[in-house]
Amino acid sequence: MDLPVLVCGAGIGGLTAALALARTRCRVVVLERADQLAEVGAGLQLSPNATHVLADLGLLEPVRALACEPEAIRIRSARDGSDLARVPLGATIKARHGAPYLVVHRGDLQRVLADAVHATPAIDLRLGTVLTEVDVGESSVSGRSPAGLRQVSGTGSALIGADGVRSFVRQSVLGGPPARFSGRTAYRATVPADLVPGALLRETGLWLGRNAHLVHYPVRSGKEFNIVALVEEDWNEDDWSAPASRPDLLARFAGWPSEARELLDLPDHWLKWALCAVDAGTPWASGRTALLGDAAHAMLPFAAQGAAMAIEDAAVLANCLAEKGKSVTDALLSYQSRRQARVARVQRTAAENARIYHLGWPVCLARDAVLKRKSPEALLARFDWIYGWRPPRLGNA
Ligand SMILES: Cc1cc2nc3c(=O)[nH]c(=O)nc-3n(C[C@H](O)[C@H](O)[C@H](O)COP(=O)(O)OP(=O)(O)OC[C@H]3O[C@@H](n4cnc5c(N)ncnc54)[C@H](O)[C@@H]3O)c2cc1C
């Protein structure tokens, strides 16, 4: 391809795609509306299917240096605090899938990716550039920013919409649907790790309650502790970082076991994020345009796979565009057909977890009994199809 690939969005998906494309000797222009890559979001769990891609890009060690490697996911009941199951991670999952399961602050992961982008001459990252107009021609795609902004955009061989859940490229270029609000909200906060009992810093905690659940794990090489409370409520604003009412949140968890309430009591400030979804079955590719990450398939975070799927997309997209003898249009269609069924299955799993995690009494008793009976091997085997995925070879163009 003579022209660079235009990538709209410098989130986890867009930056990973730029690096993967550069590996296949593509030039890339990344257009990002933010003036700087701020530390938005909080923690991310990165399972081996995603860390394999980071390893292929030579970024596993810098990410690992800022991340933590939990020993297990400890699942507990919010009715009485009892243990329901323990999914082994750490050395067990690394031996099983050949790459680690990490927990990392989104800002740290984005910074490692952005540093690698800055160090790659084939990638031109243009901050402060909102893509608002696109012309798709027979042999090129051009994108423009509105007049008055510091930068104008460019012309490329393909346009990749990695512009998140409320994607402009999905809706305005591909004519796709708006994101659907799920009726659930995530409250997110981080606190200094020394406020938290040491045992909690070695694992991911998951508490299951009626119409709500709680997830926590360490981030920032164990210096901070990430807490996410997911509740059912009717609030839907487009922001990674809307301030949330602490008293309202604490009131919602008033009947929970003291250990959970003590954690929720720690942060002075909470941010909230409306959980939206985009059906992975709607078209991701047409002509010279394709979608990636949340723009294509935003999902509920109940399988902790949204960013992981964006990272997988990036590796497959670069591999498809590098295939010799294929037109850009065919390469993008091939990318869509190699990704869509898997991502749709992950989305269904996340939606199913959303139902199961939030069951109320008495049906939760059946769920709890099933979880208590499962062996560690059975718990791990359930996720082999997700975590056992391997990226295609990059750089073989
Ligand atoms: C509570 C919660 C917990 C989560 N936990 C996990 C987890 O444990 N593991 C996991 O894998 N995933 C998790 N996720 C999902 C994960 O955060 C997302 O799937 C992932 O960040 C999506 O990345 P993205 O690059 O596709 O989109 P985004 O990160 O949203 O990036 C989109 C970028 O595009 C830019 N942009 C938008 N419009 C334009 C435009 N017109 N022009 C230029 N730039 C534009 C934006 O500024 C942004 O930088 C979680 C999500 C939530 C809400």
Domains of the chain: 5-69+100-179+278-356 (3.50.50.60)
pLDDT in the model for residue 288: 96
Instruction: List ligand 1's pocket residues with C-beta within 6 A.
Output: 8-14, 31-34, 41, 44-45, 130-131, 162-164, 168, 186, 188, 228, 273, 293-295, 301, 304-308, 310
Atom of ligand 1 nearest to the CA of 310: 26
Instruction: Report the separation in Å between the CA atom of 149 and the middle of ligand 1, taken as the mean of its atom positions.
Output: 23
User: Which phi and psi angles does 218 have, rounded to 5°?
Assistant: -80, 155
CA distance 66 to 90: 16
CA of 46 to the centre of ligand 1 (A): 14
Catalytically active residues are 217
CB distance 71 to 90 below 8 Å: yes
Residues 6+ apart with CB under 8 A from 325: none
Ligand 1 atom showing the smallest separation from residue 145 Cα: 42
Q: Which among 19, 33, 52, 117 is the best mutation to test ligand 1's pocket, defined by most ligand atoms within 8 Å of the CB?
A: 33
pLDDT at 396: 46
Integer Cα distance of 120 and 117 in angstroms: 5
Query: What is residue 397's predicted lDDT score, i.e. its pLDDT?
Result: 38
The residue whose two tokens read 């269904």 is 348
Residues 318, 155: Cα–Cα separation, whole Å? 19
**Ligand 1 geometric centre to CA of 333 (Å):** 23
pLDDT at res. 146: 76
Give the pLDDT confidence score for residue 296 in this predicted structure: 98
User: What's the count of helices (H) and strands (E) in the chain, helices before strands?
Assistant: 14, 19
- Residue identified by tokens 């269609």 is 333
Burial class (CB in 10 A: 0-12, 13-18, 19+), 296: buried
DSSP-assigned beta bridge partners for residue 31: 8, 126
Tokens 């057909």 locate to: 337
- What pLDDT is attached to residue 291? 98
Q: Where are the alpha helices (DSSP H) in 72-155?
A: 90-97, 106-118
Report whether 351 contacts 182 (CB < 8 A): no
pLDDT in the model for residue 42: 83
- Distance from C-alpha of 196 to C-alpha of 263, rounded to nearest angstrom: 8
- Per-residue pLDDT in tens (0 to 9) along the chain, 397 residues: 789 999 999 999 999 999 999 999 999 999 999 999 877 778 999 999 999 999 999 999 999 999 999 999 999 999 999 999 999 999 999 999 999 999 999 999 999 999 999 999 999 999 989 999 999 888 899 888 876 656 677 889 999 999 999 999 999 999 999 999 999 999 999 999 999 999 999 999 999 999 999 999 999 999 999 999 999 988 777 666 688 999 999 999 999 999 999 999 999 999 999 999 999 999 999 999 999 999 999 999 999 999 999 999 999 999 999 999 999 999 999 999 999 999 999 999 999 999 999 999 999 999 999 999 999 999 999 999 999 999 998 764 3
The Å distance, Cα 11 to ligand 1 centre, comes to 6
Q: Give the Cα separation of 295 and 109 in Å (integer).
A: 19
